Chains A and B, each alone.
Chain A
Amino acid sequence: EVQLVESGGGLVQPGGSLRLSCGASGFIFKTYWMSWVRQAPGKGLEWVANIKQDGSEKYYVDSVKGRFTISRDNAQDSLYLQMNSLRAEDTAMYFCARNGISRQWPNSDWGRGTLVTVSS
Chain B
Amino acid sequence: DIQLTQSPSFLSASVGDRVTITCRASQDISFYLAWYQQKLGKAPKLLIYSASTLQSGVPSRFSGSGSGTEFSLTISSLQPEDFATYFCQQLNNYPLTFGGGTKLEIK
Contact = CB atoms under 8 A, between A and B. Distances in A.
A104 to B, nearest CB: 5
Interface string A15-50: 000000000000000000000010000001111001
A47 B34 contact: no
Interface size class of A (residues with CB under 8 A): 20 to 34
B interface: dominant SS: loop
B91 A44 contact: no
Interface size class of B (residues with CB under 8 A): 20 to 34
Interface string A87-120: 0000000010000000111111111110000000
B54 to A, nearest CB: 12
B89 A106 contact: yes
B69 to A, nearest CB: 17
Contacts of A50: 94, 96
Contact of A45 (B1, B42, B44, B46): B44
Contacts of B1: 62
A113 B98 CA distance: 18
B98 A111 contact: no
B46 A107 contact: yes
Contacts of B87: 44-45
Interface of B: 1, 32, 34, 36, 38, 42-46, 49, 55, 87, 89, 91-92, 94-101
